[in-house]
Every structure is written in C-alpha cells, then in structure tokens.
Amino acid sequence: MTAKPLENRIALVTGASRGIGKEVAKALAAAGAHVIALARTQGGLEELDDEIKALGGSATLVPLDLTDFDALDRLGYSINERWGRLDILVGNAGVLGPISPLNHIDQKPFERVFAVNVTANFRLIRSLDPLLRQSDAGRAIFITSSAGSNTYAYWGCYGASKAALDVMVRDWAEEIRNITKVKAMLVNPGRTRTKMRAEAAPGEDPATLPSPAEIAPFIVEMAGPNWQETGRLFDFPTRKVLDFQRPA
Ligand code: NAP
C-alpha cells in the first residue's frame, strides 16, 4: 500500500465547521493528516468528525471562538504537549461583516471583523510559529480575498481586514524565509458556494459558483513538504501563484 502524501502530519484548520474550511479539513484528513478542527459550532465540527472517520482519517475537535485570544495561546501549549510540533496551519476562518457605506458602519462590527480576520491570525502566528519551526516542513496557508487588493464600494471593512492579513502574512514570510523551513502562503479562493458568499450576494444563483471542495486539493498540495513557494498568493480563479504589485 502506498503511503498517503500527508501521512502522520498534524494540521490545524480554523473555520472547519462549514464552507471552505470543512472541505479543506476533509481533504487534509483524506491525505493522511491528523486534523485539529477549530470553529465555534460544535454540531458542525461533529459532522466533520463523522465525515473524516468515514474517510478513514482522524480529527481532534476544538470548539472555540477565535476572538478568545488567550485560548489560542493555550491551544499552542496543548499542541506542543501532545505532538511537540505543528506541520500545517490553515488560517481559513473569516467573517464578512457589514457590506455598507463606511460612514454607516458602527465601530463594534468593524472591530469584530478585524478581530476575527486579522488579530486572531496574528495570535495564531504568535502562538504557533515555534511549533511550525519544530516541523521538518512547516506550512502555513491563510485564506484571503480579492477584496484585499481591489476596490469595491461598500466592501471597505472586509477588504481592509484582508489587506491587513495579506501584509501581515507576507511580512512574516519574509522574517522566516532564510532562517526556518516554514513556508507561508496566501490563497484567494474567488467566489465560492458557501454561507458567506450567499450573505454577500443573496441574489446570486449558488449553482453558478465553484463548490468549496474544488479548491481543497490545491490547499493540500500547498500543505505538503514539496511546496516551496512562500510569501506569495495562490489565486484559485486563475490557478496561478502571483506576486503582489508594488506601487511604481
Ligand atoms: P463560511 O461558510 O461563512 O465559513 C466561515 C468559517 O469561519 C466557519 O467555519 C465559522 O465557524 C468560522 N468562524 C467565523 N467566525 C469565527 C470565530 N469567531 N471563531 C471561530 N471560527 C469562526 O465562509 P467561507 O466562504 O467558507 O470562508 C472561508 C474563508 O474564505 C474566509 O476567510 C473568507 O473570507 C474567505 N473567502 C471566501 C469567499 C467566498 O466566496 N466564499 C471568497 C473570498 C474569500 P463557526 O461559525 O462555527 O464559528
């Protein structure tokens, strides 16, 4: 029997209760990784667990709100105690927040978007960077959006959070480029058939959109030891690894 490509690797996936994160978690488990699945919705995580078991894989469920930042430090300690390393981090969880003229947005929902989309990923990097370095091929992948590098009226809150995520991950990738084996990538999934997209574009026919399962194999590839790109963006709609454009 041939070994699975991610056999014995430990992978944390945030936002694993539905949508893109759930499909990525299943694909990583099917490729042999043990998946640490994080989200708030216990029921969604349990469904995922059943589906992973049916694929012959294994998971550890972490029902947690990512804005409980200190719990992310405790998660790091627990992963260290149990495995002594982390091979794969998929920072997928995100929220859309208000799609609205900026001057109509209250500060609280604005800050909530930044807490989930930016600060939680910062706290994950801070807590898990040492464990990714313990891996022989640590791989971190963060799900961003075209809204982080384009201008769309009414998307300023979400777009600004994704722009912040992009710069943070690229800067971290630069910090660790020459001194660790860790690679850090951003992924733009493009419009995908999930709850978030239905919220963003209620008039759109979901049947016209790619399913979240379609992007999962690409993320599995980026999670493996053979992946060598870092600090770049994988754009799923064009299937290309892109550099960021600098101002002239
Ligand atoms: P989704 O179906 O709404 O799923 C979002 C996931 O994030 C859920 O599992 C949710 O779990 C989790 N989450 C949200 N807030 C959380 C919190 N405070 N603590 C823990 N988990 C939390 O969205 P999706 O479309 O799959 O989005 C996945 C990623 O792709 C996001 O980063 C999104 O910005 C990005 N993206 C999506 C599209 C698209 O068209 N779908 C396009 C571009 C980028 P719980 O609710 O159970 O906590």
Structure tokens at 196: 């978030």
Q: Which residues contact 47 (CB under 8 A, 6 or more apart)?
A: none
Atom of ligand 1 nearest to the CA of 17: 9
Write out pLDDT tens, residues 104-117.
999 999 999 999 99
Whether 218 and 143 have beta carbons less than 8 Å apart is answered as: no
Q: How far apart are CA 98 and CA 112, in angstroms?
A: 10
Q: How far apart are CA 240 and CA 246, in angstroms?
A: 18
Is the per-residue pLDDT at 146 higher than 80?
yes
CA 154 remoteness from chain centre: 24
Superfamily of domain 10-242: NAD(P)-binding Rossmann-like Domain (3.40.50.720)
Q: For residue 140, give the 3-state DSSP assignment.
A: strand
Q: Is 158 a catalytic residue?
A: yes
What residue type is assigned to position 222 of the chain?
M
Q: How far apart are CA 39 and CA 16, in angstroms?
A: 6
Q: Give the pLDDT confidence score for residue 28 in this predicted structure.
A: 98
Q: How far apart are CA 132 and CA 140, in angstroms?
A: 8
Q: Which of 190, 188, 194 is nearest to 206 (CA)?
A: 194
The finding on whether 159 has its CB within 6 A of some atom of ligand 1 is no
Whether 88 and 33 have beta carbons less than 8 Å apart is answered as: yes
Q: Give the pLDDT confidence score for residue 1 in this predicted structure.
A: 65
Q: Give the pLDDT confidence score for residue 6 in this predicted structure.
A: 98
Q: Give the pLDDT confidence score for residue 224 in this predicted structure.
A: 98
The finding on whether 21 has its CB within 6 A of some atom of ligand 1 is yes
Domain boundaries, the chain: 10-242
Atom of ligand 1 nearest to the CA of 158: 34
Q: How far apart are CA 204 and CA 57, in angstroms?
A: 35
Q: How many helices (H) and strands (E) does the chain have?
A: 8, 8
> Catalytic pick from 77, 152, 154, 158?
158
* Average pLDDT value for residue range 204-210: 97
Q: Looking at residue 145, what DSSP letter applies? A: -
Long-range contacts of 198-206 (CB under 8 A, 24+ apart): 199/96, 200/96, 200/99
Q: How far apart are CA 6 and CA 28, in angstroms?
A: 7
- pTM, whole model, 2 decimals? 0.98
Nearest CA, atom 44, ligand 1: 145
